[in-house]
Structure 1
Amino acid sequence: MNGSSLYSDPVFGVCVTFAAYAAALLVRRRVPRLHPLITAPVLVYALLQLGRIDYTDYKVGGDMVAFFLGPATVALAIPLYKQAMRLKPVLPSLLLGALVGSALGLAVNALCVIALGGTEELLRSSLPKSVTAAVSVELSRWLGGSPEFTAALTVMTGLFGSVAGPVLLRLAGVHDRVAASIAIGAAAHGIGSAKLLADSQEEGGVSGFSMAACAVFTPVLLLPFHWFIL
């Protein structure tokens, strides 16, 4: 098997992705503040550049890994189910918080791109970045944006929200755990929810619910943006 056919084999992309993430976890043991989702893409990029490997070859296997993003996102419903009875009394607040979070996310994304003179393609690609990647990529495709760029923006948004979100919420005077979890789920989607889940089943469940609700609200709220802005 020559190099070209090896690189285009789906197994290559899958192995590279897993190996990069495993290496990123080892790096995090020494540098706890360095998130694996920052380190792993850098390692993959470095390998592709050093090996002069075409991204489309790697993407054949990388897409197989990305396929499981949807099931992994759905799996966040498990902690929500475990906490369902405890969260039932605050269900209206959860829904309202997710709705407001979705609306603000779209509005802020649009205002930032327009105020900074961004292109229409950038606007179409960045509008859905605050919702989970399994949804944002499809919304970007529907809007006529770049799904790949949207995926990158979505991951960056989740990383920033999971790392800086709790600190910013405390500085803003938000100390209620449920309210903070709703905000993290609405703004930092799966990455933020996974981080909260590692600390608390309840907070992870609330954040997962907020993320799921935003995945429903955002496509509906995108319709007026599509009509009046794009």
Structure 2
Amino acid sequence: MNDNLLADPLLGTTLTLAAYAAAVFAYRRLPWLHPLIGAPLIVYLCLRIAGISFDAYRIGGDLVSFFLGPATVAMAVPLYKHAMRLKAMLPSLLLGALTGSALGLLVNAACVLAFGGTGAFLRSALPKSVTSAVAVDLSGWLGGSPALTAALTVLTGLFGSVTGPWLMRLCGVSGKIASSIAIGAAAHGIGSARLIAESEERGGLSGFAMAASAVFTPVLLLPVHAWLL
């Protein structure tokens, strides 16, 4: 392929956006194929077929990643629109987010220890339930691998987004407030984006839980950090 084309950031950006649009189109006909699973598969197949290296794709792909931060901040819009109702439920919402953050850390640690994971993997896996920007920094602070944490965080969000509503129904959690807080605390931005697509109010609740968890998790990790050191 032409070297000038490979060096053009528009290649990776266009491929990413086109793959996501195709994945959304497929999702409407195949509800089990989540766009955040379908899009990476499409990108991977295109790179393999065209013989494009991942480094060449990243020139433009990283441009899309740059907007992850602004996109996360944009979740404050549903919060603002439903601020008065959220204010009335603030104690319950904070308690739910705190409980979700604490249980997330406990479950993460228990799973790693149960399967004989190393200390380095434990430090990388502990913060995977919070939003990626916070999780990566916490991983470095704990002495883990930020790259591994980023991958685990994305996988956690994907799993929560795809299976979260179904698991809530399976566990008998039918209330939209409780399920939204649970998904926001466990599946961060990816899970919240799924709920926003269904209901702006549920997306706002989930976004609040995600933000609160990003505050609670570092505080809860303080004694863990002291223990690991």
> If the length of structure 1 is used for normalisation, what is the TM-score?
0.90
Question: In the alignment, what sits opposite 2:171?
Answer: 172
The aligned amino acid for 2:180 is: S
Structure-2 separation of matches of 1:118 and 1:56: 30
Structure-2 separation of matches of 1:58 and 1:121: 30
Structure-2 separation of matches of 1:3 and 1:154: 35
Shift of 1:187: 0.8
Structure-1 separation of matches of 2:60 and 2:167: 37
Count of residue pairs brought into register by the alignment? 229
Structure-2 separation of matches of 1:229 and 1:81: 39
Structure-1 separation of matches of 2:160 and 2:96: 16
Structure-2 separation of matches of 1:180 and 1:18: 30
2:115 is equivalent to residue 119 of structure 1: no
Moved more, 117-126 or 104-113: 117-126
Moved more, 196-205 or 47-56: 47-56
Question: In the alignment, what sits opposite 2:98?
Answer: 99
Structure-1 separation of matches of 2:211 and 2:129: 12
The aligned amino acid for 1:128 is: P
Shift of 1:34: 0.8
Query: Deviation string for 1:167-193 (max 9, x for gaps)?
Result: 222222322221111101101111221
Moved more, 140-149 or 38-47: 140-149
Shift of 1:92: 0.7
* Uncovered stretches (5+) of structure 1, i.e. residues with no partner: none
Question: In the alignment, what sits opposite 1:44?
Answer: 43
The residue matched to 2:128 in structure 1 has which SS?
helix
Shift of 1:213: 0.5
Structure-2 separation of matches of 1:50 and 1:185: 37
Moved more, 87-96 or 159-168: 159-168
Superposition RMSD on alpha carbons, in Å? 1.9
Structure-2 separation of matches of 1:20 and 1:114: 37
TM-aligned CA distance change 1:160 to 1:44, over 3 Å:
same
Query: Deviation string for 1:138-170 (max 9, x for gaps)?
Result: 323333433333222222211221222222222
2:62 is equivalent to residue 25 of structure 1: no
Listed as ranges, the matches of 1:133-172 within 5 Å are 133-172=132-171
Question: In the alignment, what sits opposite 2:78?
Answer: 79
Moved more, 210-219 or 188-197: 188-197
Question: In the alignment, what sits opposite 1:90?
Answer: 89
> If the length of structure 2 is used for normalisation, what is the TM-score?
0.91
The aligned amino acid for 1:75 is: A
